[in-house]
Structure 1
Amino acid sequence: MYQWAEDDFVLPPGVVRLGASQPVNGQTYVMYHGTTRQTAKSIQASGFRPSEDGMLGRGVYLSRDLEKASRYPLDCPESDRAVVRVKVNVGKVKAIDRQRHPLQKTWHDQGYDTAWVPPNCGMVPSGLEEDCVWDPDRIQILGTVKPRPLQPSGGCGAYGYK
């Protein structure tokens, strides 16, 4: 069992953490991208390359929810995963809130910079939000979050209370 927790860090000026509402056009948010440790090193060295396709089409898949990102890649042991923490100016945002939405894969062609899947809308089995950013230049890498083995309960410290 692992715990996904960030070290305490100060948000960069003008950056917002996860909220329950739709990302606001032009706002900058902290987001997360789940991947393998090896790929996280490559991303830090060379930046993001957009996926050619996916649920929302081409783009870089992120979430403002660390829990969501920490589940990826699904077929990888948790101990080999890492989450790249980034800040993103979302630009113009389009909510894609149902399967077969008319702009599900063509949102960028309509002038949007980011597609946002709201939590619990039926698009994602986990019920957690997802974002797809078209242009990787909107993304600035802040660091990496790695899983920590859970400590047995019974002591004091950062992992639990007694």
Structure 2
Amino acid sequence: MSSFVVREAALADLPPAVLYALLRLRVDVFVVEQECAYPELDGRDLEPDCVHVWAESGGVPVAALRVLRDPDGRGRIGRVATAPASRGAGVAGTLVRRALELLDGDEVVLDAQAHLVDWYARFGFVAQGEEFLEDRIPHRTMVRPADVVGSSTGG
């Protein structure tokens, strides 16, 4: 894969074509590839503190995630999606590290697909609770405690 550039923006600051490309990537991965008919547009992108973080290669988004605040004040990383051709190149890891920087030492939660639990553990996340199904895919809630030393250096 060619090199990539990491970008971030609030929804109001995203050019329409970039927003479209980010949403298209998420739909291509979560709805089409994973065959999950669900409401991808869940309203959380509209929250005032939502930050979209993505990687571009050749001006095209190849991976994306969003950074949110849950009602309990914890940070949340969600909608982590990587285009198939860019998987295994470290792009998603770079985005997760950036998301952790944006959340600045706060406790962070995410709902990981079960096969990615070990991958997220490299960033200091610990599985909590029982496995659950979300759109027929096994998931685990994972929490990264506040101020975990070295957690943002995972690969």
Asked if TM exceeds 0.5, the reply is no
Higher relative contact order (CA 8 A, sep 6+): 1
- Tell me which protein shows more strand as a share of its residues: 2
Larger Rg: 1
- Tell me which protein shows more helix as a share of its residues: 2
TM class by shorter chain equals under 0.3
